[in-house]
Structure 1
């Protein structure tokens, strides 16, 4: 099964955000290359909020280009076989934490957001990843900083999309 096929199946099974979910499916139907960064009409991305529920905190990255505190994530790559694998790869690469595990039940949220030209949209499929106890993070080349934040501090540093992802993740827990 291709990554494209997996994405369609994941999105069809996703419950909630009905209009947005359908927009993702419509985009993929109209753009067979919609999984890849080269699709200028927009492309699917995969991300994961790294969470430490034992300590009530999340790990965010200060994105090098956007200069915003965000969850770990990014573009799908040719070697990714599933959206889950892409989200877990991105979270592991950007956090430097081995042994992350995704929360069961598929994506936690969907978030479509505009991006600068030449592309137009990211169709982000958002997961949540549990950090192992005493996980130590590393700052990747894609980040200016990586830092743990208590749940109640996230609204002070991150935008609404990250706050909504944290709320949905905590509800899933």
Structure 2
């Protein structure tokens, strides 16, 4: 199965009842149906990306990266690569590379949410498929070349440092943790 096929399966199975998320799900499915290259950075109409919010639920902490280019506190994530077999593996790879933490595990249940945001030319959009990754108890982060800084934030401090998309991702992640799935 190709990464493109996996994306269709993941998006078909993404079952969020929220109206905005349902609309984005349809937009993503239409995009991959209309763009065979829609998984790759080279797709001028935009492309799917994969990200993961790194959390330590036991301590109520989130690891954010101060993105080198955007100069914003964000979750780990980025472009799909040819070696990525699934969106989940792309999100986990990105989270591991950008956090330097070995042994991350994705929260069960598939993507936590979808987020579509404009990007500068030559592309138009990132269609981000967002997961959550749980850090092991002994996690030690290490700054990558894509980051200016990495920092653990208590849940209640995230809204003061990150934009609304990260706050929404954290809210959905916490809701999933509370539901136990």
Q: Would you say 1:62 and 2:62 are equivalent positions?
A: no
- Counterpart of 2:33 (choices 17, 26, 29) is 29
Q: Which residue of 1 aligns with 2:130?
A: 126
| 1:21-53 deviation digits (Å, cap 9, x = unpaired) | 000000111111000000010000000000001
Q: Would you say 1:7 and 2:11 are equivalent positions?
A: no
Pairs aligned (count): 173
Q: Which residue of 1 aligns with 2:108?
A: 104
RMSD: 0.4
Quote how far apart the aligned CAs of 1:134 are.
Answer: 2.5
| 1:129-154 deviation digits (Å, cap 9, x = unpaired) | 00000211000000000110000000
SS of residue matched to 2:95: helix
**Runs of 5+ consecutive residues of structure 2 not aligned to the other structure:** none
Q: Would you say 1:48 and 2:64 are equivalent positions?
A: no
TM-score, normalised by the number of residues in structure 1: 0.99
Counterpart mapping for 1:127-166 below 5 A? 127-166=131-170
Distance 2:108 2:121 in 1: 35
Quote how far apart the aligned CAs of 1:111 are.
Answer: 0.2
Consecutive aligned runs of 4 or more in structure 1 exceeding 3 Å deviation? none
